[in-house]
A and B are shown apart, each in its own frame.
Chain A
Amino acid sequence: RKEVEQDPGPFNVPEGATVAFNCTYSNSASQSFFWYRQDCRKEPKLLMSVYSSGNEDGRFTAQLNRASQYISLLIRDSKLSDSATYLCVVDMKTSYDKVIFGPGTSLSVIP
Chain B
Amino acid sequence: DAGVIQSPRHEVTEMGQEVTLRCKPISGHDYLFWYRQTMMRGLELLIYFNNNVPIDDSGMPEDRFSAKMPNASFSTLKIQPSEPRDSAVYFCASSPGTGGSPLHFGNGTRLTVT
Chain A positions within 8 Å of B, measured between CB atoms, are 31-32, 34, 42-46, 49, 87, 89, 91, 96-104
- The prevalent SS among residues of B at the interface is strand
Tally A-B pairs: CB < 8 A.
Answer: 54
Contacts of B56 in A (CB 8 A): 96, 98
Q: What 3 pairs across the A-B complex have the smallest Cβ distances? A: A32-B100, A43-B105, A103-B42
Question: Can you report 21 A-B residue pairs in the complex whose CB atoms are below 8 A from each other?
Answer: A31-B99, A43-B91, A43-B106, A44-B43, A44-B103, A49-B100, A49-B102, A87-B43, A89-B103, A96-B31, A96-B48, A96-B55, A96-B97, A97-B50, A97-B97, A99-B93, A100-B45, A101-B42, A101-B45, A104-B42, A104-B43
Most chain B CB neighbours (cut-off 10 Å) among A46, A96, A104: A96
Check B103 against A99 for contact (C-beta < 8 Å): yes
Please encode chain B, from 33 to 69, with 1 for each CB lying within 8 Å of some chain A CB and 0 for all others: 1010000001101001010000110000000000000
